[in-house]
Structure formats: C-alpha cells, structure tokens
Amino acid sequence: MSILSGKKVLLGITAGIAAYKTASLVRLFIKAGAEVQVVMTPAAKDFVTPLTLSTLSKNPVHSSFFDEEDENAVWNNHVDLGLWADFMIVAPVTANTLSKMASGNSDNLLLATYLSAKCPVYFAPAMDLDMYKHPSTHETFDKLISFGNIMIPAEAGELASGLVGQGRMAEPEHIVDFLEKDLLSKLPLKGEKVLITAGPTYEAIDPVRFIGNHSSGKMGIELALAAANLGAQVDLVLGPSSLKIDHGLVNVINVVSAEDMYQAVVSLYDRCTIAIASAAVADYRPKQVASQKIKKSDSEFSIELERTKDILKWMGEQKKHQFLVGFALETENEEENAKNKLIKKNLDLIVLNSLNDKGAGFKGATNKVTLINHKFESKAFELKTKAEVAKDIFDEIDQMKRVADLATNG
Ligand code: CTP
C-alpha cells in the first residue's frame, strides 16, 4: 500500500508545456489511493484541459476566484483548499510562478492558495535549460526552500526548445516516487521497531479442547496498522484470531498458547524500541495436556491448572531502551488497579479499559480508554473506534518519547 493512500493532494498546475504530463500524474495519485484536487493558473488551461483533469481527479478543477460567466458563480475559497490538503504540489512550476511564490504575489487562485496553505508544499520546476541555470532562478529556488518548501529537481533531457539539458519537469513516476520517499522519511515513527502482542491464547486440554477467551485481536491489529502507517516496522505476535492484516511493514508471527507467545516475544524483544502488550493472555493452563481426547464419564471432572508466564512482566524486568506499554481490563477500582500494574510490570504507560464502560473491552469495534503514564498522570478519552484509540496511544507514546529525548539530549 502506498503512503499516498488516503492522502489529500492539492495539485497546482502552471503554464508550461510539461502541464500535459499532469494528466498522468493525477492518474498515478488516484491509483495510489489519494484524493486529488487541482488548481490551475488561467494560462495553464492552454496546455491541458480542465475537463481532462476533472475527469481523472473526479473533482472540479479550480482556476479563478469565481466563474465570471456564471451568474450563480460561487467564490473558490483558496483558504479552504489550502486547509483541505495534506500537501500541495505545484507541477510544473514555471520561472514566472516561482518568482511570484518567492515574492508573495497572489494575482491568481493558485498563488493565493499557495500563500494560505498550512501543509507542506512541493514544487517541480520546468523551464528551458538557460532559464533553469540562471542565477536569479537559483536564488528563487533557495528562497523557496528556505521558506520550508520542498523542491523536486528538474531532470535532464530534450527540452521543448529542442535544446538538451536540465529543465524538464521530473517524470510523473519520479515525482510520485520522490513524494512517497519524502513522506515516509518524515513519519513520526520512522526508525522505530514496534513489538505488539495481540489476540487470545488457547491453552490445550487435550487434542481437541482448549481454554481460551473472547479477545478478537482487533485492538492489537489496529495498533499494528497505526504503527506501520506512522512509519514503524512492526512485529505482531498474534494469538488465534480470525482477523487478517496485510501491510508491508507488519511482520505477523502467529502463535497459539501463552508459552508460544512468550517464546516469540523473547526472540524479538531485544530489537524493539516500543513494546505493547495488548494480548489477552491466559493466566493459567492445564498442568497436564492429555495426548488423547478425554472421554466423558458419569463422575465429576476437574482440571488442575498452573500459571503461565507473565509476558509483560518479563518485558518489564528485561527493559533497557524499550518504551513499554501494557493494557489493564478492570471491573472495579479501575485506576488504582491499573496504577499497581504499571508499577509491578515496570511500564511507561498503561491503557486502562473498564468493563463498566459500554462499548469498551474485548469483542467490539470500539473502545473507551484512559491512558496513565509512569508519573500517574491520566488522560481519559471518549468512546472511539479501535483504530482511533490506536492513534491516540501512538500520539501519547510519541509525545512522551519526545519529552524523554529532550530531557536526555537537552
Ligand atoms: N499479560 C501478559 N502475559 C500474561 C498476562 C497478561 O503479557 N500472562 C499482559 C496483557 O497483555 C496486558 C497486561 O499484562 O497488557 C494485563 O495485566 P494482568 O495483570 O494480566 O491483568 P489482567 O489480565 O487484567 O488480570 P488480573 O486483573 O487478574 O491481574
């Protein structure tokens, strides 16, 4: 899945011959799962038609503040466009528009949108080689970069003038590649290795029976997806769950019992930087596992149970550089019990869900959590989808890690 999936892309097109390539660029964005809106300078319409772009982007194309020929024209709000976008890319951008962007000129909708955009702005210049080489053009590039804009350099090749050299707008595939790499490198969890335990465990009684629980694994799977979408590499140690996850950054290790889960965690713990135990691990397992199916009889039957290993407690004892997060599912004295677990298991953060809250806990698609950190500061959240809860948890981890890094590195 491309990192562009679900992203809101605002494409600004100016009047260069390379504008004809933006039809392919829009197609590539759409194929990657992005939403696209196009804003063009009036002169850009001579190079590629708004109809082509609106058809490909599935959105109206904007090129003026309002349509002068339409009596019922509505104001094209440049501020709204700028706020809507996750990022803006101006491609191709001519020397003329570049210098206006650098000087703060806003005599068309594209420039007004650029000036009011709060999102990152990329620009892909296109011009003839001598214009590209000109010191004033380079001064403009430097100025735009110093404002925080990101340049996608022009490529070398044959130019519209017939001359050969640098100045061609980067090919649409290269632009998409550049954007994907740049966005990935800036994700907040880039470089982090996240270990997550999730789902139930099954403890065998005999070859056909087990002791299990109702955990679906959904919370852990959402945590894995959220971490991967934020750029982390994820090891997901997943107990028996009917749910599937498919993401290039998530490595799924399927396990069955608490012992399997423990062994998997032991082998992966050293290399992780963040560990989250969301699994509903059986606390007990049958002391003896019958090798054949147990036959019923008329007398009563009992199974002797023994403790499984507390995986999270082990992680707390072995903790070196890891940021450790546990879950607590409570029915009474919720905060106090959660705080005790936080200390006992040497955690940095605990996610408390109370079975007294409707919509919280095991099976459903929602959860209602309170996050408590090692200083016992707590944040209570509304009832949310498990995907949203996962994002809240990583926001909190990110903030706490930043504060800790600042304290260490000054
Ligand atoms: N946990 C674990 N290994 C176990 C048991 C629990 O890693 N054998 C983890 C869970 O994944 C969760 C946290 O520990 O993150 C829950 O703590 P626990 O003390 O087991 O609390 P409860 O399951 O709520 O049980 P109890 O209240 O009975 O202690």
User: How much of the chain is in helix, strand and coil states, percent to nearest 5?
Assistant: 35, 25, 40
In a domain, 76, yes or no: yes
* CA of 283, closest atom in ligand 1: 8
Distance CA 4, CA 53 (A): 19
CA 341 to ligand 1 centroid distance, Å: 8
What pLDDT score was predicted for residue 73?
66
CA 248 to ligand 1 centroid distance, Å: 29
pLDDT digits (tens, 9 = 90+) for 262-312: 999 999 999 999 999 999 999 999 999 999 999 999 999 999 999 999 999
User: Is 357 touching ligand 1 by the criterion CB < 6 Å?
Assistant: no
Same domain, 201 and 117: no
Same domain, 199 and 74: no
Look at strands 8-13 and 35-40 and give their pairing: parallel
Q: Average pLDDT of 175-185? A: 96
User: Is 284 touching ligand 1 by the criterion CB < 6 Å?
Assistant: no
- Asked if residues 366 and 386 have their Cβ atoms less than 8 Å apart, the reply is yes
Examine the residue annotation and report whether 77 is marked as an active-site residue of this protein: no
Write out the residue range of the structural domain in which residue 201 sits: 193-289+304-409
Q: Find out whether 21 is annotated in a ligand binding site.
A: no
In a domain, 53, yes or no: yes
* CA of 312, closest atom in ligand 1: 7
Domain count, the chain: 2
In a domain, 314, yes or no: yes
What pLDDT score was predicted for residue 72?
66
Q: Domain boundary at 150, 165, 185, which?
A: 185
Kindly state the percentage of the chain with pLDDT values over 90.
87
CATH number of the structural domain spanning residue 12: 3.40.50.1950
Distance CA 93, CA 410 (A): 41
Strand order in the sheet with 87-93: 61-62, 35-40, 8-13, 87-93, 121-125, 150-151
pLDDT digits (tens, 9 = 90+) for 330-377: 989 999 999 999 999 999 999 999 887 787 767 778 999 999 999 999
Catalytic hit among 59, 77, 96, 213: 213
Burial (Cβ within 10 Å: 0-12, 13-18, ≥19) of residue 186: exposed
pLDDT digits (tens, 9 = 90+) for 41-98: 999 999 999 999 999 999 999 998 876 666 666 676 778 888 999 999 999 999 999 9
Substitution site in 312, 322, 329 for ligand 1 pocket (most atoms within 8 Å of beta carbon): 312
Same domain, 13 and 151: yes
Helical spans, DSSP H, in 186-323: 218-229, 258-268, 311-318
CA 351 to ligand 1 centroid distance, Å: 12
Same domain, 148 and 206: no
Q: Find out whether 368 is annotated in a ligand binding site.
A: no
Q: For residues 384, 345, 378 and 354, what is the CA-based torsion angle, rounded to 10 degrees?
A: 40
- Show the tokens assigned to 70: 């339409």
CA 355 to ligand 1 centroid distance, Å: 15
